[in-house]
Amino acid sequence: MDEDELIEGLRSGELRLYELEDKADAGTAATARRRFVEEETGADLSAVGDYTFPAEAADANVENMVGAAQVPMGVAGPVTVHGGAAEGEYHLPLATTEGALVASVNRGLSTVDRAGGTDARVTDHGMTRAPVFRVSGIAEASEVVEWVDDNQAALAEAAESTTSHGELLAADPYVVGDNVFVRFVYDTKDAMGMNMATIASEAACEVVERETPAEQVALSGNLCTDKKPAAINAVEGRGRTVTADVEVPRETVRERLNTTPEAIAEANTRKNLTGSAKAASLGFNAQAANVVAAAFLATGQDAAQVVEGANAITTVEAREDALYAAISLASLEVGTVGGGTKLPTQSAGLDVVGHRGGGDPPGNNADALAEVIATGALAGELSLLAALASRHLASAHESLGR
């Protein structure tokens, strides 16, 4: 069917929006759907329809496609990273609509690079999925917990039968009344791995149901925890747990950030630590989500997982001749294969970083990406804290016309 025939089918109700790809190629379906939505809503979707990749390339990423939402992308850097996986000079692509963000991160990266770059390390990793089971009471719950603890190998065998890359690291049971949650933790290598963890956990759950009195109620019981603020992710981690730190000479702080180590340290303590504690915040940082969100959009990560990416603590210390600063992100969920990383723009973003596709050894590329993003987040913290300490925040936005 051509565009006009598809649109007429939508008007008459003979076709539904999701059925167009059954009648035409993906590009024709997207155009017809876009024209129909324009007619129905009065919106001008010409800019939405001006995209460069073939519609078929997004088949695995979106349904009812009408075009693409285009977000301006900038680049910050270069900056030197001395990481466990990332080593060398890096540029960080950032897609955002927030004016002054890239400039702020760029200032921070320049300061960090002048100081010799960051040390960055992924200190833990593991994508989680936590199904919830029903039992009759605590006696059965205890039986399930004991079985899970004693049969980790059997659970791993079942889970790993569904994937050629994933590895079950742990299955941790939790009991709440007549509920038993099992938090499965996976090494998903270079994939962010949420789908991998879900499919593998389903296979493991079948074993739990077969061997114990437990009955699965939901494949996700929210103890994972995915895309929601959660203390368990702050404590146990999810995805990559990564820290980047730097020691900036006092003179560099003065020249590049227009303030002193003591002023930045005080701003961090009163704002990021005391203020966050008073607010009962899970994130003790100034703007980690800003950098995480922009980097996620630029490199094809799941944007909703910025929730976990904001789960970070910034620490700052004024030393005799320097400023020590670090950011620790407890649950940064990133990948360099799968999902949105395959889209052309996002794939190019990963090429800017220099870590696209599977790493050697597996997992190395995703570790490197996490270390580079953590470095960018640290730069953003330094720049914003300095702007606050020197009372330049409002004037900086004003001078950039934001």
Whether 80 is covered by a domain: the verdict is yes
Per-residue pLDDT for 175 more than 70?
A: yes
Whether 224 is covered by a domain: the verdict is no
153 shares its domain with 260: no
pLDDT in tens, 11-48: 999 999 999 999 999 999 999 999 999 999 999 999 99
Per-residue pLDDT for 148 more than 80?
A: yes
pLDDT at 394: 46
pLDDT at 105: 97
Q: How far apart are CA 233 and CA 283, in angstroms?
A: 11
Whether 64 is covered by a domain: the verdict is no
Task: State the catalytic residue, choosing from 3, 172, 302, 381.
Answer: 302
Task: Give bridge partners of residue 126 from the DSSP assignment.
Answer: 239
Q: Is 397 a catalytic residue?
A: yes
Average pLDDT in the chain = 95
Per-residue pLDDT for 399 more than 70?
A: no
For 318, the enclosing helix (H) or strand (E) is: strand 312-318
Task: State the catalytic residue, choosing from 8, 38, 87, 98.
Answer: 98
Per-residue pLDDT for 368 more than 70?
A: yes
pTM beyond 0.85, yes or no: yes
Containing structural domain, residue 22: 3-58
Average pLDDT over residues 322-336: 98
246 shares its domain with 117: yes
Interhelix angle 250-257/101-114, rounded to 10 degrees, is 150
24 shares its domain with 165: no
- Percent of the chain past pLDDT 70, that is, above it, reads 97
pLDDT at 372: 98
Whether 280 is covered by a domain: the verdict is yes
Domain CATH code at residue 172: 3.30.70.420
> Of 31, 58, 85, at which residue does a domain stop?
58
247 shares its domain with 394: yes
Between CA 16 and CA 345, with CA 63 as vertex, the angle to 5 degrees is 145
369 shares its domain with 263: yes
Whether 195 is covered by a domain: the verdict is yes
Count other C-beta atoms under 10 Å from residue 231's C-beta: 11
Whether 230 is covered by a domain: the verdict is no
Domain count, the chain: 3
**DSSP secondary structure letter of residue 111:** H
Q: Is 302 a catalytic residue?
A: yes
253 shares its domain with 115: yes
25 shares its domain with 157: no
330 shares its domain with 255: yes
Average pLDDT over residues 111-137: 98
> Of 188, 218, 248, at which residue does a domain stop?
218
288 shares its domain with 176: no
Q: How far apart are CA 308 and CA 347, in angstroms?
A: 23
Per-residue pLDDT for 254 more than 80?
A: yes
255 shares its domain with 393: yes
114 shares its domain with 247: yes
28 shares its domain with 176: no
Whether 226 is covered by a domain: the verdict is no
Residue with tokens 């024709």: 28
Whether 34 is covered by a domain: the verdict is yes
- pLDDT band for 386, please (50, 70, 90 cuts): very high
